[in-house]
Amino acid sequence: MNSFKIKYNGQFRTEAKHLESGQIINTDAPKDNQGKGEYFSPTDLICVALTSCMLTIIAISTKKYNINLSGTSAIVTKKMQSNPRMISDINIVLTFKENYEGKLRTIIRRTALNCPVFRSLSSKVNKKVEFKYPS
């Protein structure tokens, strides 16, 4: 079990500390919701957590095939809705440096779509994931 300490710093900003490592993440409300947008917003962190989880879990699941995912990258975009204000869409494009065979592509896809963060998000959030491989 991990523990975190989160402190509100005023001006719609927080500081979150990972108690085991001491690492700190600062957040800021987005510009469209009274913030300055100078740090990740809490909803940005959901998108970052989802994408980071996918990449990490894919690396774990493909390790036994001696796949090195270093250099794999992703672009994630989010769309917010109002009434209620929430994330409505998360779009992720995972770009791989190698063109893997069919079996590995299947493993990669299934693993990504079953990562813990993906499974934890509400079904009300539309999640689209694209897998790009070089030709």
Q: Is pLDDT of 118 > 90?
A: yes
Average pLDDT value over all residues in the chain: 96
Q: What percent of the chain has pLDDT over 70?
A: 100
pTM for the model: 0.93
Nearest to 31 by CA among 21, 23, 41: 41
Q: Which pLDDT tens digit goes with each residue over 53-84?
A: 999 999 999 999 999 999 999 999 999 999 99
- Per the DSSP assignment, residues forming a β-bridge with 76 are 92
Measured at the CA of 24, the angle between CA 37 and CA 44, to 5 degrees, comes to: 35
Q: Is pLDDT of 135 > 90?
A: no
Residue 94 to residue 76: CA distance in whole angstroms: 9
